[in-house]
Amino acid sequence: MSLQEISARITKAETASGRDVGAVKLIAVSKVQPNERVAEVLALGHRCFGENRVQEAVGKWPEFKLQYPDVDLHLIGPLQTNKARQALDLFSTIHSVDRPKLANTLARLAQEVGTCPDLFIQVNTGEEDQKAGILPTEADAFIADCRGLDLPIQGLMCIPPVEEEPSLHFALLAKIAERNGLKGLSMGMSSDFEQAIALGATHVRVGSAIFGERVKPEG
């Protein structure tokens, strides 16, 4: 386990690309990790975590939050509309707004509740059939629609195809964000977060490099 090492590498990458130290938020991705490992990272003082399933997060985090009320939880995986209300209650930030139906549901719930998490729109930069996200050619219109719904869109998120050079995808995401006046860029994982920082990432999502390999396969 090497939270300190990852933090040091982030600082180095920030400096190397002329960014302010602390400009990049480290989301420690704790999905399918045993609670002992999560507890270790909490004990080191880290508070920002990412989960990719609402159900799993609901089963694990309320208890940790009793001990660490300042935990900052980010949803980085797909969100079904029937779990949107639960997600709104638990997460400070949702990185996976990926379709009009979800945007409409979040807008309605935000009206009801009076608050809304920070939102990132997921862009399917690799145009992969199996991956969620708005297609790059449809991103501008979807961003405009979300703004029309008064949703607090902070930025964009992508997960590059495994076999491709991630920098191309990070650069594309940054370009779409810039032309839409969005500052947030959620990009970069264990294997490529330094490249993502060089291309402007504001949020990196790092799991296995902090916690070790995930113990069970993702279902």
Residue 150 φ/ψ, nearest 5 degrees: 65, 25
Name the minimum Å distance from CB 182 to ligand PLP. Answer: 18
9 binds ligand PLP (CB under 6 A): no
Our CB check for ligand PLP shows the closer of 62 and 212 to be: 212
Instruction: Compute the distance between CA of residue 166 and CA of residue 23 in angstroms, rounded to an integer.
Output: 21
User: Which 20-49 positions form the footprint of ligand PLP (CB under 6 A)?
Assistant: 29, 31
Out of 14, 61, 77, 106, the only residue in the binding site for ligand PLP (CB under 6 A) is 77
Binding characters for ligand PLP, 120-159, by CB under 6 A (x = yes)? ---------------------------------------x
Give the whole-angstrom CA distance, residue 102 versus residue 125: 19
205 lines the binding site for ligand PLP (CB under 6 A): yes
Spell out the residues 6+ positions from residue 92 whose beta carbon is closer than 8 angstroms to its own: 72, 73, 74, 117, 118
Our measurement of the distance from residue 89's CA atom to the centroid of its chain's CA atoms, rounded to an integer in Å, reads: 17
Taking CB under 6 A as the binding criterion, the range among 15-23, 62-70, 124-132, 204-212 that sits at the site for ligand PLP is 204-212
Q: Determine if 76 is a binding residue for ligand PLP (CB under 6 A).
A: yes
Q: Which two tokens mark 108?
A: 């309605």
Residue 52, classed as helix, strand or coil, is coil
Q: Does 119 bind ligand PLP (CB under 6 A)?
A: no
Lookup: tokens for 153: 């869109």
Q: Is 106 in the site for ligand PLP (CB under 6 A)?
A: no
Of 162-201, binders to ligand PLP (CB under 6 A) are 189-190
- Between 77 and 117, CB nearer to ligand PLP: 77
Which H/E stretch holds residue 204?
A: strand 203-206
Number of other CB atoms surrounding residue 115 within 10 Å: 9
From the number of C-beta atoms within 10 Å of its C-beta (0-12, 13-18, 19+), residue 20 rates as exposed
Binding part of the chain for ligand PLP, among 6-14, 39-47, 103-111, 205-213 by CB under 6 A, reads 205-213
By CB under 6 A, name the binding residues for ligand PLP: 29, 31, 52, 76-77, 159, 189-190, 205-209
